[in-house]
Copies of this chain bind each other. A is one copy, B any other.
Amino acid sequence: MAGVKPLSRAAIIAVGSELLTPSKIDTNSLFITEQLNLLGIDVIAKAVGGDDRVELAHIFRAFLGRADLVVFSGGLGPTEDDVTREVVASVLDRPLAEDERITAQLRARFAARGFPTPMPEINRRQAMVPAGARVIENARGSAPGLWIEHEDCLVLLLPGPPRELRPMLTSLVESGLEDRGPGRSLVRRVVRVVGRIESHVDEALEPLYREWERLPIPVAATILAALGSIELHLSARAATTAAADTVLDAAVAQTVAVLGPEVYSTDGRTMEKVVGDLLVERGLHVGVAESCTGGLIASRLTDVPGSSRYLDLAVVVYANEAKTDLLGVQSDLLREHGAVSEPVARAMAEGIRSRARADVGIGVTGIAGPGGGSPDKPVGTVVIAVAAAGDTHVRTFRFHGERELVKFQASQAALDMVRRVLMKQ
């Protein structure tokens, strides 16, 4: 393949009418993207087309001019619904002809599976090959893949079932595709930030963006608002993964220097994993007393394998009696300040710390909604306390959104307060 222009811009087309309904989604493109990125090939666009020849041809034509690699997944089955082969042959103006070796293999495969009847003639559709195409064997199913060099573009047809597509693409990467990429690996990092809004993070990082753009190996940055976090996605393309890693390590370090402790993860770890790791490192235990978060903080902490090393006891105390009975929150406090108040959150955190014999206690009380709000304490008001040796931190937050969003944001803020307390221990 020496002398051939390297592939750098890919488009992915998933085929199947079921992928245009409200309940099915194309996930093959994630695996395909990962494999192509490792070869330094970018994905510039993705599409989903139904089992409709006209529409599929239209999508294919639109991408042919823009991408130098077009990867199809699906639509290679034996039925009338499976139109990918025909559409590709027609758009590229390459006649389809039956490949007798494929037909023989299909018949043999059919016989080997012990079906009592001979192979239905409709299955011969899977043996139709556009002129000039290379046939790719399918170790896991009946539909072979196809590799078509067309002018400056490579077109790949892969089967839809992931258990067939994945090994086929992996073997193609090793036998041919690897040599066709630009030879420059695309490496990605995600920096997760808590407690700031998207535009503030963006403004703070603006000078870095400009610096990164001008590097010999430039770093591209995209900012994303996730629930309870801002995510900064960084990527760099270099001759080797190691070279890309080096510039990304530097970019991540610069980001941390600018944003400070608001960066909680630079290596893909979740907030609950970061907090868990800090607890393990410091040999500390945590106890949780939740009201409005209803067990979500405990559930997130226990999503982490090995969390039994630092979590012994958590309680969900929805009723005031439970707060008094289990945590020793005095009924005076509840009467005087209301259940959603700083004194009550403090008493909950200190109560669970003592009850669980833990080093750190978390107390959360608030109004998740939709009911229960007042002008003074509207829905979304959440008070969080973290009790540690000698000191209890208390903060009042006001979150926006529906019940489940308030719960999640409150759990994130509580875990973040624990993280900050632990960093100082």
A66–B322 Cα distance when bound, in Å, is: 61
Minimal beta-carbon separation of A202 from chain B (angstroms): 5
| A299:B302 contact, CB within 8 angstroms | no
- Chain B interface: which of A74-82, A146-154, A412-420? A74-82
| A81:B20 contact, CB within 8 angstroms | no
A400–B138 Cα distance when bound, in Å, is: 13
* A316-339 near B? 1/0 per residue, CB < 8 Å: 111101100010000000000000
CB of A58 closer than 8 Å to a CB of B: yes
Q: Is the interface of A mostly helix, strand, loop or mixed?
A: mixed
Return chain B residues, CB-CB under 8 Å to A79: 198-199, 202, 223
Residue of B nearest to A79 (CB): B202
CB of A315 closer than 8 Å to a CB of B: yes
Return chain B residues, CB-CB under 8 Å to A326: 313, 326
Minimal beta-carbon separation of A338 from chain B (angstroms): 14
- Given that A23-B224, A223-B79, A302-B295 are known contacts, is A312 also in contact with B308, CB under 8 Å in the complex? no
- Chain B interface: which of A39-47, A95-103, A171-179, A255-263? A39-47
CB of A402 closer than 8 Å to a CB of B: yes
Query: Which of B37, B50, B222, B225 meets A45, CB within 8 Å?
Result: B50
CB of A274 closer than 8 Å to a CB of B: no
Give residues 179-230 of A contacting B (CB, 8 Å). Answer: 188, 197-200, 202-203, 222-225
CB of A404 closer than 8 Å to a CB of B: yes
Minimal beta-carbon separation of A294 from chain B (angstroms): 3
A interface residues, how many (CB within 8 angstroms): 101
Binding site for B on A (CB under 8 A): 16-27, 29-31, 33-34, 37, 42-52, 55, 58-59, 62, 66, 77-79, 81, 114-115, 117, 120, 122-123, 140, 161, 163, 188, 197-200, 202-203, 222-225, 231, 233, 288, 290, 293-299, 301-303, 305-308, 311-319, 321-322, 326, 356, 368-371, 398, 400-405, 407
13 sampled A-B residue pairs with Cβ under 8 A: A16-B224, A17-B222, A20-B44, A45-B47, A123-B199, A294-B303, A299-B299, A302-B368, A303-B407, A305-B371, A307-B318, A308-B318, A314-B315
Known: A59-B62, A305-B403, A306-B371. 12 other contacts (CB 8 A): A21-B233, A25-B25, A45-B59, A79-B202, A161-B225, A163-B401, A163-B402, A288-B295, A294-B303, A312-B322, A313-B317, A322-B356
